[in-house]
Homo-oligomer: A and B are copies of this chain.
Amino acid sequence: MVDRIGFSKRPASPRGRRVPAKGDDDLASLAWGLAHPARAAILRLLLERGECICGAIVDSMPLAQATVSQHLKVLKETGWIEGEIDGPRVCYCPTADAMARFKQLLQSLESGERR
């Protein structure tokens, strides 16, 4: 694959013109975190409960433990959640600023912010 536009592991391109808006990568990354119903559901669960043991998340989802773990990883990598090791288990909770950052990036999109 060629290299990418930005945004961790995503396509790029040869000829470039428009200076990429600095926020597009961040926005895309955060959006990517939510871009799967299972991840949206997980985040909703965490926001509802404040925090949650991994096992409880798995129990509440129609997915295999390995799959949920992968989604949790994506949510972690995109900055939506963080996990705290608690003995043999891991407690996940939403990060303090992801939602705010995301909303702000959306706002800057909407307001037609100059680049």
Contacts and interface: CB of A to CB of B under 8 A. Distances in A.
A35 B7 CA distance: 9
B15 A62 contact: yes
B62 A18 contact: yes
A106 B109 contact: no
Contacts of A27: 34, 37, 40
A86 interface: no
A60 B18 contact: yes
A72 B43 CA distance: 28
Contacts of A37: 5-7, 10, 20, 24-25, 27-28
B13 A62 contact: yes
Contacts of A63: 13
A112 interface: yes
Interface in A9-60: 10-18, 20-21, 23-25, 27-28, 31-41, 43-45, 47-49, 59-60
Interface of A: 5-7, 10-18, 20-21, 23-25, 27-28, 31-41, 43-45, 47-49, 59-64, 67, 99, 102-103, 106, 109-115
